[in-house]
Structure 1
């Protein structure tokens, strides 16, 4: 995790990879660990509710199987239906970060979801929790609907990123909110991380080509037939999409344009 020219900067931390990976839904712990390795991600997000409160008493814990000298823990507040629950989970997340040796880790992926059917984030609860946690010194990465005005409000509160969904969690529907995502990217002064809904590497590449700063995913890798292979494919897709965005695509034209114009041929 170096401070190079194209590092992803979140808060005061720099990350080489723009792909973030979740840890749920894998068939085995080994599949999760190997997928994280193949993805070459730096940031791993873990639901606080699924973890033991004391890792020292659980040597078989999934977290104890990862190399935290190479990875950065992003605790998430998944399962929180209110701002108050999410705030409590954020503090527990910091305690767990301390147990793996990341005492300076106050990162939190903020999820407030009161809707059990569609799992859409609660904008009011998210704003409330974000304001409190930012004031307490947390580096807040809020998961939101692709709402450009909400993204600006969260940025104004001091959130380190905004994380609009591409489509509902675990749906694999892809980028269904393209127009709003484009507006968010155009207006944001903090990194925009596309979170939820991506199902294929081509969709991850598309998100990066739009100018997103990163992509977070879980189900697309964990529920694929070969998670390790899919993790590697997503790694390449995110890198490719970022490189394409940096290169700048050609302008679209109304009519065809020959690849070898006559004027060029005559000079040969």
Structure 2
């Protein structure tokens, strides 16, 4: 992970960012407060499902994100195998104008439990196609190393199953991933509270991708602000504890 010591910027693939909070936008998320959420959380990046059947709501979401200058990372959440994911990734690239993707392959529609074999196959194909690939993976250090060696630009291990809100269930596995790869690691699922996000950053994650904390809150704007503050606090704690050059 590259960073600027003065402004503490970092890179998500070839994109330089200041905010380490990525908003994961559910398909059924209400849009009336989206702009306010983006502003309250100072959010610079978001991940959203790509579909070949874009409805009005999906198009409106993209419009709001563009209006706020948010970098949109398409995800392949409905892909059941490598071939589906590769097709969805190429479609997403055509929509956002760049070749990058949050690679999700699962046959579990409830918790998005990743399919390692198909992840490896799709990641290799997409890297060869010139994509910056960010796979959603289980908290498996061996798989993380394999995907990094294939050329993935970053990794998004699940702290716990997507939507469960159980936080980082196995911190040791996260630490092993962080120790063994040299690409940015974002907590990609399972963040249920602002404290979970703070923990992820304090451990050394480059950022977090979260939906539940904000979209399940009664008052979403303060939730976005609190989550962003927690991410910043965790990052500050990590920088204070670790030696830096």
Answer whether TM exceeds 0.5 for this pair. Answer: yes
User: Out of 25, 30, 33, which is 1:31 matched to?
Assistant: 33
The question of whether the paired residues in 2 share the 8 Å contact of 1:170 and 1:220 is answered with no
Alignment coverage as a number of residue pairs: 238
The question of 1:151 aligning with 2:122 is answered no
Give, in whole Å, the separation in 1 of the partners of 2:58 and 2:27: 21
CA distance in 2, matches of 1:125, 1:59: 27
Aligned counterparts of 2:147 and 2:51: Cα–Cα separation in 1: 24
Q: Which residue of 2 aligns with 1:44?
A: 46
Q: What displacement does 1:25 show?
A: 5.9
Deviation at 1:163, TM superposition (A): 0.7
1:208 aligns with 2:201: yes
Residue 66 (structure 1) shift: 2.7
- Maintained 8 Å contact 2:23/2:46: yes
Once the two structures are TM-superposed, the CA of residue 209 in structure 1 deviates from its matched residue by: 0.5
Q: Say whether residues 1:248 and 2:241 are aligned partners.
A: yes
C-alpha separation in 2, matches of 1:94 and 1:173: 32
Task: Return structure 1 stretches of 4+ with deviation > 6 angstroms.
Answer: none
The alignment yields a C-alpha RMSD, in angstroms, of 2.1
CA–CA distance in structure 2, aligned partners of residues 88 and 222 of structure 1: 29
Of the structure 1 ranges 189-198 and 61-70, higher mean CA displacement relative to structure 2 is found in 61-70
TM-score by length of 1: 0.83
Distance 1:244 1:14 in 2: 22
Deviation at 1:188, TM superposition (A): 1.4
Q: Aligned residue for 1:80? A: 79
Long gaps (5+) in structure 1: 99-104, 250-268
CA shift for structure 1 position 141: 0.4
- Larger Rg, first or second structure (1 or 2): 1
Q: Which runs of 5+ in 2 are unaligned?
A: none
Q: Which residue of 2 aligns with 1:16?
A: 18
The answer (yes or no) to whether the contact 2:38–2:68 under 8 Å persists in 1 is no
Contact preservation (8 Å) 1:144, 1:162: yes
Please tell me whether residue 7 in structure 1 is matched to residue 6 in structure 2: no
CA distance in 1, matches of 2:59, 2:118: 35
- 3-state secondary structure, aligned to 1:168: coil
**Contact 1:25–1:222 (CA under 8 A) maintained in structure 2:** no
Q: 1:179 to 1:150 in 2, by over 3 A?
A: same
TM-superposed deviation, 1:4: 3.7
Rounded to whole Å, the distance in 2 between the matches of 1:59 and 1:174 is 28
C-alpha deviation, 1:223, in angstroms:
1.0
2:176 is matched with: 183
Whole-angstrom distance in 2 between the partners of 1:111 and 1:24 = 14
Which position in structure 2 is the counterpart of 1:164? 157
Give the drift of 1:88.
0.5
Distance 1:7 1:132 in 2: 30
Q: Is the 8 A contact 1:26 1:222 kept in 2?
A: no
